[in-house]
Amino acid sequence: MTGSLLIIAAFMIIPLLVGILSARQSQETSEDFFVQGRAMGSIAVFFTVAATWWSAFAFLGSNATFYTNGPVFLTALAWNLLFGFMYYWIGKRVWFLGKRFNYLTPSDLIGDFYNSEALRITVAAITLIFTVPYLQIQLTGGAYLIEVASGGLIPFWLAALLFYFIIIIYVWIGGIRAIAWTDVIYGALLFFGMLYAGYYISTQVGGPAALFSQLQQSSPEHLTMPGPNGTMGYPMWFSLFAITAIGAFMGPQIWLRMYSVKHGKLFNLMPFLLGLAAFAYVGSVLSGYSGVLLEPDVENPDQILPIMLMDYAPYLLASLIMAAGASAAMSTANSQIHAVSTVVTMDIYKRYVNREASQARIVYIGRLSLVGFSLAAYIMALTVPGVLVTIGIAALAGTAQLVIPTIGAITWKKAHPTAALAGLWVGVACVLLMTFGPLSAPFGYHAGIWGLLLNAVLFVGLSHALHRRDTAVVERFSQARYDYDAEYHPERLLAYGQAVTSNADHK
């Protein structure tokens, strides 16, 4: 027990030390505190994106889903590829526009392109409302692990309190630089922790081959769609694939990591690296399916991995792996707290409360926001029950709606602000009504898919029907997109020339 408490203590102390060291390079400017002066290098970018992308949802929720619903979570291998492709295709354009026009938040880009205050406020509200529940599951997952690893000596409420107390301190001190540095450590621990936990637990039933052989005999429905409960068929597979990747990618914490990148070429590596990282889910497959054989009657599926580690692994090894899991939760939570504080500071305080605020004042407000959102998530973790994956998917379905106006802003000069606003409102209303209201999502697809469909149809239809009058804004972005292609895709300039010639001939 003493050894496990020392491991937990080490995981509490390491980020504090990193925060203190990173603060030596920090400057008291909003750009440095929120996006590291737009100078983050390749190693930090990969690990902080991967560690932020993975979470308690991945470390605990993936095992729980294999345990209860069979193979549907194998879509995680595919959604990692989708996430990596979006980081390359959308993220690189967002980064370019952010660098040119000095953006820090999602509202900055979308509000500026559509030239709409209503849209700016709507985007800020969506990022805040749907990020806090996802933040809650990080706290819940991390607290589960610390409670189990300590043998119950640290109860859930105290584990959650310690968890967020540590995050507040080092993010307060070092901003996104401290987060990125700790994510390098946490990302590596998480990858190997997930893989090794799965392998080790599977050895308790004879190894991976024996595991699948026994599962085929005792519970074959766990190996085929729609799973043992009959509810996780191909529509849900597709829903998880799309909603999880798009929703996480549209979260404000990932936007900050797009704006922070030093060079555009770093985006080219991300599809390959994030696809490679998806192999960590092999560990979740082995852990979740081993749980079906070893612990078939666990009341809370989110606790299946910690319970098996404590029952079948040496105590110190179990504590170390659970610490890796806690790192998954912490590396996402620190990024989310930092991101929502950025939204509050820049989109609300700086824009509507104090436009003349000094740099030091902006950073101070950002730090105060850290404390406020941490407290909100802590209270929710203690009072709002729920399975991690269920809460996580509902939150991601909300932020996923932002992808439609974002693609419009980076690619389409006809994209209209009224169309973007109507699409977002209808998409979000659909998610809420089908998730928490009287409506049910048809044909087995998640509410987020239906929200995206309605959102896209309204956006495209209204944009074709309406015409923008703010031609200066439209042309400013057209020029920026042209400059982007000139620098990164010069082969497309031929298309510009042909379009200009065609228009001239037409006139």
Secondary structure of 213-254 in HEC code, one letter for each residue: HHHHHHCHHHHCCCCCCCCCCHHHHHHHHHHHHHHHHCCHHH
Instruction: Give me the phi and psi of 311, to 5 degrees please.
Output: -85, -30
- Which position has the token pair 């729609």? 226
Which strand (E) or helix (H) includes residue 332?
Answer: helix 315-343
Query: Can you give the pLDDT at residue 507?
Result: 47
What are 44-58's pLDDT values in tens digits?
Answer: 888 888 877 776 667
pTM for the model stands at 0.86
Distance CA 486, CA 489 (A): 6
Can you give the pLDDT of all 507 residues of the chain as single tens digits? 566 677 777 777 877 787 778 777 777 787 888 888 888 887 888 888 887 777 666 777 788 889 998 898 888 888 888 999 999 999 999 999 999 999 999 999 999 999 999 999 999 999 988 887 777 777 777 787 778 777 778 888 888 888 778 888 878 887 888 888 888 887 787 788 888 889 999 999 999 999 999 999 999 999 998 888 888 889 988 998 999 899 989 999 899 889 999 888 888 888 888 888 888 889 999 999 999 999 988 888 888 888 898 889 887 778 778 777 776 677 778 788 888 888 989 999 989 998 888 888 988 898 888 888 778 878 877 776 555 566 677 788 999 999 999 999 999 999 999 999 999 999 999 998 998 888 888 988 999 999 999 999 999 999 999 999 999 999 999 999 999 999 988 877 766 665 555 555 554
Tokens of 278: 């998806």
Distance CA 365, CA 345 (A): 6
Q: Compute the radius of gyration of the chain from its Cα atoms.
A: 23
What are 452-492's pLDDT values in tens digits?
Answer: 999 999 999 999 999 999 999 999 999 999 999 999 888 77
- Which position has the token pair 């098996």? 308
What are 374-388's pLDDT values in tens digits?
Answer: 788 788 777 765 555
Give the max Cα distance, the chain.
81
User: How many angstroms separate the Cα of 456 from the Cα of each of 312, 402, 427?
Assistant: 49, 10, 9
Please state whether the peptide bond connecting residue 220 to the residue before it is cis, i.e. omega within 30 degrees of 0: no
Indicate the SS3 state at residue 261.
strand
| Contact by Cβ (8 Å): 68, 228 | yes
Query: Can you give the pLDDT at residue 384?
Result: 63
Query: Can you give the pLDDT at residue 3?
Result: 67
